[in-house]
Amino acid sequence: MLVFQAQYQSGIRLSIADFTDPEAAVIPYGHLQLVKVVRQEPVSTSDEKKPIAAGDPVTIKQISIHAGGIEADGNLLFVVDTHVGIRIFDLNNLFTADSSIDDRIGTSADGKLVAFSHRYVIPEIGVYQFDHGDPFSSISLQSSEQETGSDKVFITSQYVTKWELSPSPLVHGFHFINGAFTSAKPDRYWPADTPSPTLKLKRPVYYSQGAMRINGVIWSTITGQTDYKNSTARLVRTKSVDLNNLSEPNGSATRFRWPHGSEDLYYERATDMLWSLTEHPRSSKLLEKCQDRVVFGVELSTYDDL
C-alpha cells in the first residue's frame, strides 16, 4: 500500500498493488480516495468540527494534506499528517462511488457518492493532534521480539534541515493501547548521525524521510546529502539510543548507500525485509526520460554486522 499526498486540491489517496505473482508482466493495482465525512449543508469550516448527529445529512470531502507516510495494523490505516499528527481510517469501511464523474467530490444529484473518478472511498474515523512531534514526516510500527499485548508504539520522525534553528529532529514513540492513543507524553529519542566516519562527529539526523525502531535500533532514511554514486539519500543505523535523553544526539551511528529520493520505511518481520520507496519520477538524478519510482526491499540482517 502507498499513499499519495494532496495535489491540485484533489486530496490524498491510497494505492494498492497485488504482488501475489511478483514475476507477472503487469502488476494489478488500484486507487482509493481517502475522505472525511462532513455535513451536507452547510459545509463550513466551523461546522466540520462539530459532532455529526444521527440523521444529519452528510457527504464526503477530500483531505488536502501532505501525507508523509502510512502504517497498517489489522483493519486500521494510520496516515501521518505533517502539522497535525495521525489520522486513522478503517479499511473495513469501504464504500463505492460513481467513477464516471472525475471533476468533483461529494454527492451527485441522484444521491451517489463521487470522488474524482475513484471507484472506492474510505472515510476517516479519527484524528489525533499531538503537542509533540511536529513536523511529522513518517510513521511506522515499532518492532520488537519482546513486545506483546495490546500496547503498541507508533514511531514518527521529523524532517528538519540543518539550517533550521529549531526544532531538533527527534524520533517519537506514541503508545496505542486498546484501540486508542494514550494521553501520556510520547517516548522521545535523539538519535545521532555520523556524516564523516573519519571525524566521528555526532550530529542530529537531519532531512529524515522515514524512521523505524527495530529491537532497540533506530533506522532512518535521509535525503539532502552530498551526491554519491548518483544518490543524495542514505540509510542511517543508530544503536544504543537512550530513551528521553535530550541533552545531545546520542548512540552509535553508521551510514549506508541508499537509492535517491527514498522515503518512508516498513519492516516485515516474517521475512526480515526492510522496505522503502523512491519519491521522484526520475529518482536517478540523471536526466534520462524514464519513470523509475520503485518499491524496494533489503534483508535487514545483512546490515546489522556491517
pTM, to two decimals: 0.89
Among 18, 16, 13, 39, which residue's Cα sits nearest to residue 97?
Answer: 13
Q: What is the mean pLDDT of residues 246-273?
A: 93
Which residue pairs from 12-15 have beta carbons closer than 8 angstroms and sit at least 24 positions apart in sequence? Answer: 12/62, 12/63, 12/64, 12/65, 12/67, 12/79, 13/118, 14/70, 14/77, 14/122
Query: Would you kindly state where each structural domain of the chain is located, as residue ranges?
Result: 2-67+81-129, 138-304
Q: Does residue 137 carry a pLDDT above 60?
A: yes
**Model confidence band, residue 234 (pLDDT cutoffs 50, 70, 90):** very high
Q: What is the mean pLDDT of residues 64-70?
A: 88
**Model confidence band, residue 44 (pLDDT cutoffs 50, 70, 90):** low
Q: Could you give the CA distance from residue 253 to residue 64 in angstroms, rounded to a whole number? A: 36
Residue 147: per-residue pLDDT? 54
Residue 46: per-residue pLDDT? 65
Q: What is the mean pLDDT of residues 123-150?
A: 83
C-alpha cell at 22: 511478483
- Quick: pLDDT tens for 20-37: 887 888 889 889 999 999
Q: Could you give the CA distance from residue 142 to residue 266 in angstroms, rounded to a whole number? A: 10
Is 172 in contact with 155 (CB distance < 8 Å)? yes
Q: Could you give the CA distance from residue 65 to residue 135 in angstroms, rounded to a whole number? A: 13
Across the chain, mean pLDDT equals 87
Residue 128: per-residue pLDDT? 94
Q: Does residue 291 carry a pLDDT above 80?
A: no
